[in-house]
Amino acid sequence: MNSTKLRVPYITSWSAEATTTAPHLIQLPNKRGIAYPDETIGDRDSRGILWARTPLAQGQGTPEFGQVHSARQRRAMRKLLCQVCANPADHNPDGILWVLPDHRTDWPNWPNGMGITEPPICTPCLNLSTRACPALRHGHAIIRAAHAPLAGVQGGLYTPTPIGPRPQSPDPQILHYDSPRLLWLLAFHLVRELTETTVLNP
Ligand SMILES: [Zn+2]
């Protein structure tokens, strides 16, 4: 135990929150997409997108690092809260603060135009993370984004079959809010699109 010990991030899923069975979904008539058989109004957002049901048991069991909890990611992303401590993320006149895996060689003005599922971060949590984890300095990019509008959702896509909807692929997909395929997506995470970005670490 020391002062730079990493805390369990707010968005990290805990073992007590793991869902062991596949979601029970039905397909609506006339190719209108997927639904829960016992759906309630809270299962969809204001755009009509169907969301995965996830248990809430933060702090119970063991943290599953690398597994992001759907409801907490969604809250942090929507309200621009720090992904680690859930306080408001840092922002200044240049924009909101983010730390991302460093892919700045991918395209010339990376990460402009990128859809991301990582919520932003606050300065104390960024400093703590980079101090406790030297690899973060080299493997990650620290970004300011002047605009980062909500742009879509990430989730599992389904295909209609005669015996009900089936997962199209084991890999999560990111869909923009204007995609007609949203009818067939069970959303896990909110996506923001980074624009007008500045990379802060050389
Ligand atoms: Zn924080």
Ligand 1 centroid, distance to 101 Cα (angstroms):
18
Predicted TM-score (pTM) of the model is 0.91
pLDDT of residue 180: 96
pLDDT of residue 4: 44
pLDDT of residue 133: 61
Buried b (16+ CB within 10 A) or exposed e, 100-137: bebeeeeeeebbeebbbbbbbbbeebbebbbeeeeebe
pLDDT in tens, the chain (202 residues): 344 456 899 999 999 999 878 899 999 998 899 999 999 999 999 999 999 999 999 999 999 988 999 999 999 999 999 999 999 999 999 999 999 988 889 999 999 999 999 999 999 999 888 776 655 656 889 999 999 999 999 999 999 999 999 999 989 999 999 999 999 999 999 999 999 999 998 7
Ligand 1 centroid, distance to 102 Cα (angstroms):
20
Ligand 1 centroid, distance to 57 Cα (angstroms):
20
Ligand 1 centroid, distance to 82 Cα (angstroms):
5
pLDDT of residue 65: 87
- Nearest by Cα to 99 from 84, 118, 79: 118
pLDDT of residue 134: 59
For residue 50, what are the β-bridge partners? 44, 186
Ligand 1 centroid, distance to 167 Cα (angstroms):
35
Contact 197, 144 (CB under 8 A): yes
Cα–Cα dist 91/173, whole Å: 29
Looking at beta carbons, which pairs linking 63-68 to residues 24 or more positions away fall under 8 Å?
A: 63/8, 63/12, 63/13, 63/14, 63/15, 64/12, 64/13, 64/14, 64/15, 64/18, 65/8, 65/12, 67/12, 67/13, 67/18, 68/11, 68/12, 68/13, 68/117, 68/188, 68/189
Ligand 1 centroid, distance to 197 Cα (angstroms):
20
Contact 53, 23 (CB under 8 A): yes
Ligand 1 centroid, distance to 182 Cα (angstroms):
32
pLDDT of residue 6: 60
Give me the helices (H) in 39-100, please.
Answer: 70-79
Per domain, the residue ranges of the chain are 3-199
pLDDT of residue 3: 42
109 to 9, 95, 196: CA distances (angstroms): 29, 16, 9
pLDDT of residue 1: 37
pLDDT of residue 22: 86
